[in-house]
Amino acid sequence: MNYRSTRTIVNDINSNLFKFYEMFRDNHADYIIDRIIKNINTFWLLRRGVKQKSEEAEIYKPRYMKMREYANQTKDWIDIYSCMFYAFSQQMRFNSKGEFNMPFGNGAFTEQNEQYIRDGCAFFHRGSVITTNFDFRELKVDKLNPMDFVYLDPPYFNTTATYNENNGWSMQDDLDLFKLCEQLDARHIRFGMSNVFKCKGKENTHLIEWCEKCGWRVYIFDNFTYMACGKGNSEAKEVFICNY
């Protein structure tokens, strides 16, 4: 998002995430923030987090559940987005019926979140940003040129996240993504990929071997605490892999 370019294409296969990108693109930040605050007030939620398992959490959990029920009825993306701030780990997940189904968390909609919305809207309002919703295998590498930069933020093979449950990302996906990177490199197009070499004691050996084989530059973020690896897990080895 900080990359300066004349044109930026943001792609994700998840149609729900795509809807959120559209929500940032089509609305003014003040409007989104006002609507979230209105929902918070309607359902008597707080602007600060509550401690899990405390008496306070028992009070706010049913209020969150009411807001979630309401959002699943209106199916309005700002209503669903409002729920995310009060959901477990402030994450998004939808069931097979398309209903937002994250349990109650101990977070809250903060001033920092307001800033994220302002930054997100500023980005998606740029006329040069296009959002697309396709499988990465459909990327037309021959339409790109060495002035382009491709940033890849795939699910991590050896971790589980809400977008990655139920075998959502397989070994074959990793291998196809590696192939795409090699095709980009062959055309002198720069790519950068976020990933993890090690998480919860499990090494992604095929990723490590691929980096060694191709001689990619690897930046390691030591002691990075990534949510899917468990908070405070100093064993997690988050990496940025690139060909430049």
Ligand X SMILES: C[S@@+](CC[C@H](N)C(=O)[O-])C[C@H]1O[C@@H](n2cnc3c(N)ncnc32)[C@H](O)[C@@H]1O
Of 69-128, which residues contact ligand X (CB under 6 A)? none
Does 13 interact with ligand X (rule: CB under 6 A)? yes
Of 174-193, which residues contact ligand X (CB under 6 A)? none
Q: How many residues bind ligand X (CB under 6 A)?
A: 11
- Residue 191 CB: number of other CB atoms within 10 A? 21
Does 18 interact with ligand X (rule: CB under 6 A)? no
Token digits of residue 178: 């590696």
Smallest distance from ligand X to CB 88, Å: 17
Helical segments of the chain, H only = 15-26, 29-42, 55-74, 77-84, 111-124, 171-186, 205-214
Among 17, 46, 144, 227, binds ligand X (CB under 6 A): 17
Residue located via tokens 């977070």 = 107
Does 227 interact with ligand X (rule: CB under 6 A)? no
Among 26, 30, 34, 153, binds ligand X (CB under 6 A): 153
Distance CA 33, CA 18 (A): 19
Q: What is the DSSP string of 7-71?
A: -EEEE-S-HHHHHHHHHHHHS-HHHHHHHHHHHHHHTT--SS---TTSHHHHHHHHHHHHHHHHH
Distance CA 178, CA 241 (A): 11
235 Ramachandran zone, left/alpha/beta (phi>0; psi -120 to 50): alpha
Query: By CB under 6 A, which span of 13-21, 51-59, 77-85, 196-204 interacts with ligand X?
Result: 13-21
Query: By CB under 6 A, which span of 54-62, 78-86, 153-161, 182-190 interacts with ligand X?
Result: 153-161
Does 129 interact with ligand X (rule: CB under 6 A)? no
Does 15 interact with ligand X (rule: CB under 6 A)? no
Whose Cβ is closer to ligand X: residue 86's or residue 157's? Answer: 157
**Binding residues vs ligand X (CB under 6 A):** 12-14, 17, 135-136, 153-155, 163, 169
